Structure 1
């Protein structure tokens, strides 16, 4: 077996949180009842140790989250020659109400205006809340 030098290091918790605060698209993953992994791109908010994602109650990710109670979110960023990523996993719950401060924070984070305007066209919108218990965070470079 070859000895690989990956030129990598673990990100600190502060670095990880800073990466989650950036307006990056995350990949939200759940496990379907049939056993396959369902991964979709999402806009998300990281606050108080939680990943918060707006979704429709009937969406596959929402149904999977409700059934399994677990989810993962991963973000990555490459700047020049450095690639950094954070993956968080843990229990997920569903909030039936969408807190106005969270919707405004999502608008500000992603330069949008539709979250805070409300979801009159989507009355079944929910917030998926992933409590980040397991963290994997690395940076690597050339």
Structure 2
């Protein structure tokens, strides 16, 4: 009978608070959905983590939006390296579409990423063509490792 692999002493699970802290940082994430042809569609995104939800601004007719609406599932992965410590959070779960995007989410995205284009200068037509995709994580993978 084979023995289990020894634990990696340079790796540990992130706590829920550490995971939430990583998601609160102004990092880009990779948002993934399943295309109808069966391949994974992954794109970089800015996002909000609030009230146990992860929110993304998107065009209503974007591939990620169509895939998320069709399957009702998505994944986000965020990674960062601070010094010699690499940390990542990968979450997946059900996703819904909010239309039109709530102004509070647009303002919060601006504040998080030091921008001003999410919440200002939108025409009514542009706002009508946008959505907020809302991921409610039900699976979390969160680790830190170091040299």
- What is the TM-score of this pair, normalised by structure 1? 0.94
User: Is contact 1:119–1:125 with CA below 8 Å preserved after alignment?
Assistant: no
Number of corresponding residues? 142
CA shift for structure 1 position 4: 7.2
1:86-97 correspondence to structure 2 within 5 Å: 86-97=89-100
CA shift for structure 1 position 3: 5.2
Q: Unpaired runs of 5+ in structure 2?
A: none
In the alignment, is residue 116 of structure 1 matched against residue 81 of structure 2?
no
CA shift for structure 1 position 5: 3.3
Q: What SS class does the counterpart of residue 51 from structure 1 fall into?
A: strand
What's the counterpart of residue 132 of structure 2? 127
- What is the TM-score of this pair, normalised by structure 2? 0.91
Between the aligned partners of 2:60 and 2:121, the Cα distance in structure 1 is: 15
Q: Unpaired runs of 5+ in structure 1?
A: none
RMSD: 1.6
Q: What SS class does the counterpart of residue 74 from structure 1 fall into?
A: strand
Larger Rg: 2
Between the aligned partners of 1:134 and 1:78, the Cα distance in structure 2 is: 22
Between the aligned partners of 1:119 and 1:87, the Cα distance in structure 2 is: 32
What's the counterpart of residue 67 of structure 2? 64
Q: 1:36-63 CA distances to partner (integer Å, 9 max, x unpaired)?
A: 0000000000011111000001100001
Structure 1 stretches of at least 4 aligned residues deviating more than 4 Å after TM superposition: 1-4
Q: 1:105-137 CA distances to partner (integer Å, 9 max, x unpaired)?
A: 100000000111153262310010000111100
What's the counterpart of residue 32 of structure 2? 29
